[in-house]
Amino acid sequence: MRSGNLCPDMSELSNVIVVDHPIIRTKLSELRDYTTDHREFRDLLDEIAMLMTYEVTRDFPTRPKIVRTPMEQTTGYELARKVTLVPVLRAGLGMSDGVLAILTDARIGHLGLYRNETTLEPVPYYQKLPGDIADTEVMVIDPMLATGGSALAAITYLKKAGVTNLRFMCLVAAPEGIQALHHVHPDVPIYCAAIDRELNDKGYIMPGLGDAGDRVFGT
């Protein structure tokens, strides 16, 4: 798995990490394909999320832990902080199982946001977070970073809840969304599988993959 490959246009933003492993690239191409139905789409989204998790968690701090093997006692490791996944509803839910396949102990917080189709502004409708979220390593997950409004609102909400160890993970990012998120939250690393060309006049990512929520849930 490679990381740290910056899209040329984004090269000044050191906290944008494109996880462009060949397996992720090929699965993402299948995901984009308009003939991929919602069952296949869900499977691919989970598989890509699982593969990306390896890279997104690369710098999670660990601490020593005594382990007794069948032979003797030795020093092993455990994650220094608990992990909380925060899928942005709805489409972020489509990545949860893939991430949980790796981070089996993670707790889940939910943030419900949808974009107003005219203004493209995020509209919050649901929030439920673990009580001790501020002490944990938080991964916000959402397949799409378009204008950046939803990610920005989610991260602002989490910071107000006291979260300091925070990263954002998506599949497809638009340059506009990266710029907007970085402008307000330059401390939050953005992990994506691809940076696409641009937004169209309706705020959709081009070439993108269409409406992620509709494709995950078959609506």
The catalytic residue positions are: 115, 119, 211, 214
149 is in the binding site of which of ligand URA, ligand PRP, none (Cβ under 5 to 8 A by kind)? ligand PRP
In the complex, minimum distance from the CB of residue 212 to ligand URA, in angstroms, rounded to a whole number: 4
Listed residue (111, 212, 105) closest to 168, CA to CA: 111
Does 109 participate in binding ligand PRP (rule CB under 6 A)?
no
Query: Which residues touch 150 (CB under 8 Å, ≥6 apart)?
Result: 88, 113, 115, 122, 142
Contact between 87 and 108 under an 8 Å Cβ cutoff? The reply is yes
Chain residues in the site for ligand URA (CB under 6 A): 91, 144, 146, 203-205, 208, 211-213
Does 114 participate in binding ligand PRP (rule CB under 6 A)?
yes
Listed residue (152, 136, 135) closest to 190, CA to CA: 152
Contact between 44 and 36 under an 8 Å Cβ cutoff? The reply is yes
In the complex, minimum distance from the CB of residue 73 to ligand URA, in angstroms, rounded to a whole number: 51
Type and span of the H or E element at 192? strand 190-192
Nearer to ligand URA, 106 or 212 (CB): 212
- Please spell the DSSP secondary structure of 83-145, one letter per residue: EEEEEEETTTHHHHHHHHHH-TT-EE-EEEEEE-TTT--EEEEEEE--TTGGGSEEEEE-SEE
Site stretch for ligand PRP (CB under 6 A), options 2-10, 32-40, 41-49, 140-148: 140-148
Does 88 participate in binding ligand PRP (rule CB under 6 A)?
yes
Does 84 participate in binding ligand PRP (rule CB under 6 A)?
no
Site stretch for ligand PRP (CB under 6 A), options 19-27, 62-70, 125-133, 137-145: 137-145
Given the rule CB under 6 A, which residues bind ligand PRP?
88-91, 113-115, 120, 122, 142-151, 177, 203, 211-213
